[in-house]
């Protein structure tokens, strides 16, 4: 009997959803950062074995929207709860349940789909603290299973996969064996560049960044791929920060991104970056849709 199904992974920002899914897939597809709004789209990641196929939905971290982009991201996260076979709710090592986690728990209370709770970052806790957290969430009486994990250290991730295999319904293989994501190459490259901007820029600047791939072309005689991309930011002052003194910040972003893009494409890459201003685009529904968030 072949099993398959769709599994959404929800939680507030920075609890480790993308780290977990990259670990399971064995490739870096979802970008990772310690800043909110890292994942903006719903990304499908495919894990295939001989007897089953799991399609994970990596969603934006659930947070109260502050602009049109935030409204889109919240809608994406909540909509997946009704489309899947299994819901995975991830929290971190915090002993107290904060406002956002409480909000998500309220959203999950009306869901009939099995909910697996993952308590991530247990490498930061002792055994007693882990047991306290498990008991706290167990007393809520709403989770099919509770698994303490450390996504970064690969602790108990195999237990999570084993549980999914057990409760997945019978179903077809949706994607080919070698397919690990539904995301086009261009989007992964754009997100890689945005990740490097998130890593290197401070304060409010990264939240207003969008990366558009202008052109990808291959020079067959030189085993070289040219990638031309534009980094959009919301203010003229932000443009100067992204470029940096003497262009140094833009060079750093480009250098770091190129290393990952070369791994992705298996070829040398000539990455050319430009920076443009699109004033307050996150506040404008038309621009949010134009940039692909729809």
Q: Do residues 110 and 199 both lie within one domain? A: no
Q: What was the pLDDT predicted at 73? A: 57
Q: Do residues 102 and 200 both lie within one domain? A: no
Q: What was the pLDDT predicted at 157? A: 96
Last residue of a domain, one of 100, 133, 167: 167
Domain count, the chain: 2
CB of 189 closer than 8 Å to CB of 234: no
Q: What domain range includes position 32?
A: 3-167
Contacts of 128 (CB under 8 A, 6+ apart): none
Task: Assess if residue 127 is contained within a domain.
Answer: yes
- Read off the tokens for 188: 């992964």
- Read off the tokens for 227: 């990638």
Q: Do residues 118 and 24 both lie within one domain? A: yes
Q: Do residues 128 and 218 both lie within one domain? A: no
Contacts of 251 (CB under 8 A, 6+ apart): 244
Q: Do residues 109 and 138 both lie within one domain? A: yes
Q: What was the pLDDT predicted at 136? A: 96
Q: What was the pLDDT predicted at 226? A: 92
Task: Assess if residue 172 is contained within a domain.
Answer: no
d(CA 261, CA 189): 6
Q: What was the pLDDT predicted at 132? A: 96
Q: Do residues 254 and 159 both lie within one domain? A: no
The 3-state DSSP class for residue 24 equals helix
Last residue of a domain, one of 138, 167, 196: 167
Task: Assess if residue 200 is contained within a domain.
Answer: yes
Residue carrying structure tokens 């430009």: 274
> Phi then psi for 287, rounded to 5 degrees?
-70, -40
Q: Do residues 162 and 193 both lie within one domain? A: no
Q: Of the candidates 66, 58, 21, which has an alpha carbon nearest to the alpha carbon of residue 39?
A: 58
The CATH number that applies at residue 79 is 3.40.50.300
Residue 19 has, within 13 A of its CA and on its CB side, a CA count of: 21
Q: Do residues 69 and 163 both lie within one domain? A: yes
Task: Assess if residue 180 is contained within a domain.
Answer: no
Q: Do residues 197 and 268 both lie within one domain? A: yes
The pairing of beta strand 86-91 with beta strand 3-10: parallel
Last residue of a domain, one of 110, 138, 167: 167
Task: Assess if residue 98 is contained within a domain.
Answer: yes
Task: Assess if residue 174 is contained within a domain.
Answer: no
Q: Do residues 154 and 94 both lie within one domain? A: yes
Q: Do residues 101 and 223 both lie within one domain? A: no
Q: What was the pLDDT predicted at 26? A: 80
Task: Assess if residue 226 is contained within a domain.
Answer: yes
Per-residue pLDDT of the chain (294 residues; tens, 9 = 90+): 999 999 988 888 788 888 898 889 886 655 444 434 444 456 788 999 999 999 998 765 555 555 565 565 566 656 667 678 999 999 999 999 988 889 889 888 878 899 999 999 999 999 999 999 999 999 999 999 999 999 999 999 999 999 999 999 999 999 888 888 776 778 888 888 988 888 888 765 657 788 888 988 888 766 788 999 999 988 888 898 899 999 999 999 999 999 988 887 878 999 999 999 888 777 766 665 655 555
The CATH number that applies at residue 250 is 3.30.300.20
CB of 165 closer than 8 Å to CB of 3: yes
Q: What was the pLDDT predicted at 192? A: 87
């Amino acid at each position: 009997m072949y099993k398959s199904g769709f599994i959404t992974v929800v939680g507030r920002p920075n609890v480790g959803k993308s780290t977990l899914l990259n670990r399971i897939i064995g490739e870096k597809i979802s970008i990772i950062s310690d800043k909110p709004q890292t994942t903006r789209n719903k990304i499908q990641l495919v894990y295939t074995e001989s007897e089953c196929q799991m399609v994970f939905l990596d969603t934006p971290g659930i947070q109260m929207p502050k602009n049109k982009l935030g409204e889109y991201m919240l809608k994406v996260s909540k909509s997946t709860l009704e489309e899947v076979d299994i819901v995975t709710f991830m929290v971190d090592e915090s002993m107290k349940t904060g406002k956002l986690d409480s909000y998500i728990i309220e959203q999950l209370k009306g869901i009939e789909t099995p909910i697996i709770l993952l308590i991530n970052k247990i490498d930061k806790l002792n055994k007693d603290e882990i047991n306290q957290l498990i008991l706290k969430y167990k007393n809520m009486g709403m989770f099919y299973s509770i698994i303490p994990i450390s996504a970064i250290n690969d602790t108990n991730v195999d237990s999570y996969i084993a549980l999914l295999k057990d409760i997945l319904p019978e179903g077809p293989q949706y994607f080919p064996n070698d397919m690990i994501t539904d995301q086009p190459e261009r989007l992964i490259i754009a997100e890689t560049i945005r990740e490097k901007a998130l890593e290197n820029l401070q304060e409010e600047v990264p939240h207003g960044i969008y990366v558009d791939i202008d052109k990808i072309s291959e020079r067959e005689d030189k085993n070289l791929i040219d990638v031309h991309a534009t980094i959009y930011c919301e203010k003229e002052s932000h443009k100067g920060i992204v470029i940096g003194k003497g262009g140094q910040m833009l060079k750093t972003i480009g250098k770091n991104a190129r290393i990952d893009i070369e791994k992705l494409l298996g070829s040398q890459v000539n990455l050319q970056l430009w920076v443009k201003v699109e004033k307050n685009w996150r506040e404008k529904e038309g621009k949010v849709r134009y940039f692909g968030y729809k």
